Amino acid sequence: MEEENLKYGMENEILFLDPVFTHNVWGGTRLRTEFGYEVEGNDVGECWGISAHEKGDCKVAEGKFQGEFLSKLWKEHPELFGYLNDPRFPLMVKLIDARDDLSVQVHPNNAYANEHENGSLGKTECWYVLDCEDDAAFVVGHNASDREELARMIEEGRWTEFIREIPVKKGSFVQIDPGCVHAIKGGLLVYEVEQNSDITYRVYDYGRLSGGKPRELHVQKSIDVIRVPAKPVEKCVIDASDVPRNQWNALVFCDSYRVWKLVLDGEMNFEQSQPFLLMSVLDGAGSINGVPVKKGAHLILPNGFGNVKLLGNMEIVASSVGSGSD
């Protein structure tokens, strides 16, 4: 019996999470119609699949920790996460259904956020395109050549000149560093991995009104933190549509996170050697150590989980903490 506990004990329990949903003016219906989540409304913008944020804290769906908030598990069971020295769960994982354009934003880095936003973290984020229309684009970067021109373009509202739009397709992967001007455009279905922070400076909102008035813009802070000149396009975007099957394919390793894509066709075995591993099933169905999973599942393989046997036909994106957390 004891041996059995060692082999199949609680250490090896998969933490499945119940997502939290947000309603947004730019949201749609695809999270319900394509992912099967039971959420009402035609304005569902985001599914927070793995989040311990105060505005959307996921609960464990089943097992020993059923009903516990992820933020509480992080504090009370550090052994599940490799005893990382971080006061809050470091990452967030979301699905985003943008029926309409999101506002153009920029995030500060950790140092700026710490100084100007009460000790908050900055934000690095990345996007993997699940689906989009033929002419889909992201805003990634800008066309100002120095900070003076940047300030002039923003203050004079020369948005079409300022904003750099880049075409993307299904399987495109985009890294958004702090200081990078960015926006998700309408028609895109996106998977996002990001630092657990909501410090966002809104640069431009297409002149739209919300509740009869424009949403607040953060002009001075944006001008402070935007990187000038912007990183070249080819350093921001990769095509991850066609990757070798049955292996973890690295999409990005940075200070904040590591992200991999897996296309499973049949069987794959690996050892969970990260402090903890976040996984989302983005297509298909199968099993993890015999436990059935399908499209829309978000889960955590905790520290010391050991050997993992994946079976089925699935597309999975996994992530863990970055080199800044070692």
287: Cα separation from own chain's centroid: 23
Distance, CA of 84 to CA of 125 (rounded, Å): 20
DSSP secondary structure string for all residues of 156-180: TT-HHHHEEEEE--TTEEEEE-TT-
Cross-strand bridge partners of residue 165:
139
Catalytic residue among 202, 208, 245, 258: 202
The closest alpha carbon to 91, from 197, 182, 183, 18, belongs to 197
Give the C-alpha separation, 171 to 303, whole Å.
Answer: 29
Q: Position of tokens 């955590």?
A: 300
User: Amino acid identity of 300?
Assistant: I
What whole-number distance in Å separates Cα of residue 178 and Cα of residue 173? 17
CA dist 268 → 52, 232, 262 (Å):
30, 36, 10
Q: How far apart are CA 206 and CA 26, in angstroms?
A: 13
Tokens of 29: 């219906």
φ, ψ of residue 121 to 5 degrees: the values are: -80, 155
Active site residue 152: no
Q: How far apart are CA 140 and CA 164, in angstroms?
A: 6
Number of neighbours of residue 61 by Cβ within 10 angstroms: 17
Which residues are tagged catalytic? Answer: 202
